[in-house]
Amino acid sequence: MSLAYQIFATWRDPAVKAQRDWLFLQFWGRTSNQRMWWFLGFMMLLCFLWLLPNEHSKMFYMPLCFLSYFHATNAVEVIAALKKWRLRSVQLQNVMVQALLLYWLVWSLLGLMIGYRMENATLLVLLSLVQLNVLLMSYSVPQALDNKALNLLNAPMLQGQGIWAVLIPTFALIFFPQHEALISNILLAATFSLLLALTWQLRRFGRARQLENIKHAERHTNEVPQQSKHPLRLRLRLEMNMGGALDNKGLRKILVSLLLVPYAFILMYQHLLPASFATGQWGAGAFFAILTPGFLGLFNGRQQWSGAWLVRSHSRAQLWWQDELLFLGALFITAVLNCALLLLLQIDSAGNVLNAALLFVFGAASLRYLIFSVPWMSMWSLTADGRTTQEGSLTSFFCLGFLWYWLTVIWGSGVQSNISVMIIAFGLVAPILAYVSLRKALKIDLGAIRRVKRS
Amino acid sequence: MNDRKPAVLETLVTAKDVALGVVNCAGQTLSIMPGQVVGLLGKNGAGKTTLLDGLLGYTFLNAGEVTVFGHNPTELPADVCSQIGFVAQQDDLLPWLTGSEMLAATRLFYPNWNHQLVDRLLDRWSVPVWQNISEMSVGERQKLALVAAMAHEPKLLVLDEPAASLDPLARRALIGELIDIVADGERSILLSSHIFSDIERVASDVWLLEKGRITYQGGLDELKESVVRLHLTRPLQVNGSLELTTKQVIRTEVNTGRETWIIRGWNEALAAECAAQITSPYQVEALGLEDAFVEISQ
């Protein structure tokens, strides 16, 4: 009995239907919150697509592909969560293929809508390519998504490599529009190849040969205790100050938030926006503005203070000083490096780059210390006195949004004297707020931090 | 002056008039001496974790004074910190490290590290140290936190509900280790737990926390002996007054032909008074720690 016959013969089976529906739902998000956010994300993007003229459609290559990529990785996680290959069976294969077909149908409709609106078949192919690539990963090496730190096929690495499937074709389309026809044909060929590979992988689903992979993986797992090396004191200190691991995934996160996202943004913006938008005051300013939230988000060592108390540092002043030393050091290095890169890439004039860098340094420092000084604001759901509050995030968002608005108005005006006054104001406010945040930190409730911590 | 100094140094923890959060121990002094195992008992929300946070400097006191090894707990010198081990209810492990990396990282900050003890505990508790902490179960994380807190052989070990997530085998092993720790008479443990059998096995003293106040501070046996159920046959026949006994009654239960008095503060004087005055049949029931706690808390 062929696979296709089995799939359609069991379509109306109530047991299969229940499992299929559950899996289909999981593909769209593991929780109802996730599903809701994906839906809102799609809707927002579609609205933008409808509102903007067609000549700006290239702006959406990257966001659409990323949306597609991250959504597909969610499906991969679902497949990988089926206990590697062990619980896979021929019966489950039918359910899985049915759920994927449904998923595929919805994606195709979405793709058709986007393709129809943008009158751009390349984009449709690109979306399919991303989806197929990620799904193929899920069928080929699902155990790699479950077992971390075993070999090159581990999950973060795999997802990290998979992201090139999004970046390379979209960058190619953005930067070499004259070869669009050729690139589209290559993408089409790649899509067909991936489709064939995926069909082949589907037929191998649940076959006993794959069980050897599990034995192999478990043998590696047992060897890990001998392989694990003691972390260096400095690395551990950095990790505790930053509140996250400095492993491959952590370093990638730093690179993505400090380099990839802002530079991808600025390059796209220079290549894709009409000249009227791209000229003017925005170059380096937009770059550092994009950089700021990611940079601030990297330093959440305060959440680890309760664990460091009695072990790493024995006074709150020490904890504060160690965290802020790293923050300020990283702030300075990031500003200098990016200044040099922006000048090298000739993204903006030297004066603008310097202004933007100074604004970034003093602005980011002021923002951090402002949030850590005012009890009703919060960063990473943590207030200045160590308590958590949901309202804090909302009020912070509104206040900072307001501040952000005025900042962009002044920057956008391009009047050097106003910009200088703004930089000086931030420069004066930053040390004052730093002092206030230190005073707050000296009285911080470490017990409260520990009690609400979710590790 | 010279006479007083050794006495101050001997006391590991002293807390006077402590007030923070729900805890209000105005007029009360708590202390932990070397070799003492203190069990901290109290209902949910009584303030046990808050009190421990105050004693170890995690939270600032609203009022009162605490000294840990003679120092203010919010400004402990490094050498004093290395003499304290603490395991919180919610562990403070770094989720991105593996178990063995976590232990190696903790070891960096302590001059003293008992490798044999670590190996023995890891083996006995089957802690998967090669796994990422974020992937461990709650019980496995708790065991790892216990190993990390005990490995540097602290003089004062503070455990907040350490056995709550442990299986019975691991719990027994933990109690065995705690008994070994205090065997030399120099090291002390402050243990908060809801598992009364554990407290009974290991604790020498008890702090009973009720609605933020310490209502009993003293020996475990004395507490158990001081709370009794006095079963009386109705009608009650007495020669004279039971003034001393009735003053100590905290609750009564009346059934057909039988009456039970729950007495807190039972002692020889009360026993003698009952023997002398009550002529109808009666029976004194001694209580275990859990029953005593339940009767006191009702």
DSSP letter string over B228-294? Answer: EEEEEESSP-BSS--HHHHHTEEEEEEETTEEEEEEES--HHHHHHHHHHB-S-EEEEE--HHHHHH
Segments forming the whole domain that contains residue A17:
3-227
Distance CA(A169)–CA(A182), nearest Å, equals 11
List pLDDT tens digits, range A212-235: 444 444 433 333 343 344 445 677
Tokens of B77: 């010198």
Mean pLDDT, chain A, integer: 73
Last residue of one domain, picked from the residues A175, A203, A227: A227
Contacts of residue A204, Cβ cutoff 8 Å, sequence gap at least 6: A139, A210
Domain match, A148 and A279 both: no
Indicate the residue of A148, A221, A311 with minimum beta-carbon distance to B106. Answer: A311
What is the predicted pLDDT for the residue at B11?
Answer: 85
* CATH number, residue B237: 3.30.70
- Return the ∠ at Cα A298 (arms to A250 and A267), rounded to 5°: 85
Indicate the residue of A225, A309, A453 with minimum beta-carbon distance to B90. Answer: A453
Domain match, A127 and A175 both: yes
Domain match, A293 and A442 both: yes
User: Domain total for chain B?
Assistant: 2
Tokens of B61: 């006191």
Domain match, B129 and B270 both: no
- If phi > 0 it is left, if psi is from -120 to 50 it is alpha, else beta; for residue B114 that is beta
Residue B217 counted as domain residue: no
Domain match, A97 and A202 both: yes
Distance CA(A164)–CA(A138), nearest Å, equals 16
Residue B43 counted as domain residue: yes
Predicted-complex ipTM score: 0.81
The gap from C-alpha A10 to its chain's centroid, in whole angstroms, comes to 39
Last residue of one domain, picked from the residues A167, A198, A227: A227
CB B58 within 8 A of CB A444: no
Domain match, B269 and B131 both: no
Cα within 13 Å of Cα(B110), Cβ side? 24
Torsion angles phi and psi, residue A391, rounded to 5: -65, -30
Q: Which residue's entry shows tokens 């931090």?
A: A449
Domain match, B284 and B185 both: no
Q: Using a CB-CB distance cutoff of 8 angstroms, which residues of chain A are in contact with residue B119?
A: none
Domain match, A147 and A270 both: no
Q: Do B98 and A228 touch (CB under 8 A)?
A: yes
Residue B192 counted as domain residue: yes
Domain match, A298 and A379 both: yes
Q: Do B100 and A225 touch (CB under 8 A)?
A: yes
Q: Which residue of B has its CA nearest to A220?
A: B130
Q: Do B50 and A230 touch (CB under 8 A)?
A: no
Domain match, B207 and B227 both: no
Q: Using a CB-CB distance cutoff of 8 angstroms, which residues of chain A are in contact with residue B101?
A: 228, 230-231
Domain match, B239 and B100 both: no
Helix orientation angle between A121-140 and A180-203, rounded to the nearest 10 degrees: 30
What is the predicted pLDDT for the residue at A455?
Answer: 41
In this complex, is the C-beta atom of B192 within 8 Å of any C-beta atom belonging to chain A?
no
Segments forming the whole domain that contains residue B235:
223-297
In this complex, is the C-beta atom of B81 within 8 Å of any C-beta atom belonging to chain A?
yes
Domain match, A284 and A419 both: yes
Domain match, B91 and B227 both: no
Residue B218 counted as domain residue: no
Mean pLDDT, chain B, integer: 85
Distance CA(A190)–CA(A194), nearest Å, equals 6
Q: Do B134 and A455 touch (CB under 8 A)?
A: yes
* Across A218-227, A252-261, B58-67, B107-116, least confident range: A218-227
Q: Which residue's entry shows tokens 């070397």?
A: B34
Domain match, A217 and A272 both: no
Domain match, B128 and B79 both: yes
List pLDDT tens digits, range A308-339: 887 776 788 888 998 899 899 999 999 998 88
In this complex, is the C-beta atom of A312 within 8 Å of any C-beta atom belonging to chain B?
yes
User: Domain total for chain A?
Assistant: 2
Tell me if residue B158 falls in helix, strand or coil: strand
Last residue of one domain, picked from the residues A227, A256, A280: A227
- Give the alpha-carbon dihedral of B207, B211, B213, B217, to 10 degrees: -20
Q: Using a CB-CB distance cutoff of 8 angstroms, which residues of chain B are in contact with residue A231?
A: 97, 101, 104-105
Indicate the residue of B58, B95, B104 with minimum beta-carbon distance to A309. Answer: B58
* CATH number, residue B162: 3.40.50.300
What is the predicted pLDDT for the residue at B5?
Answer: 44
Indicate the residue of A244, A315, A446 with minimum beta-carbon distance to B96. Answer: A244
Angstroms from A305 CA to nearest CA on chain B: 9
CB A271 within 8 A of CB A170: no
Residue B216 counted as domain residue: no
Tell me which residues of chain A have a pLDDT lower than 50.
85-87, 143-156, 208-231, 276-279, 454-455
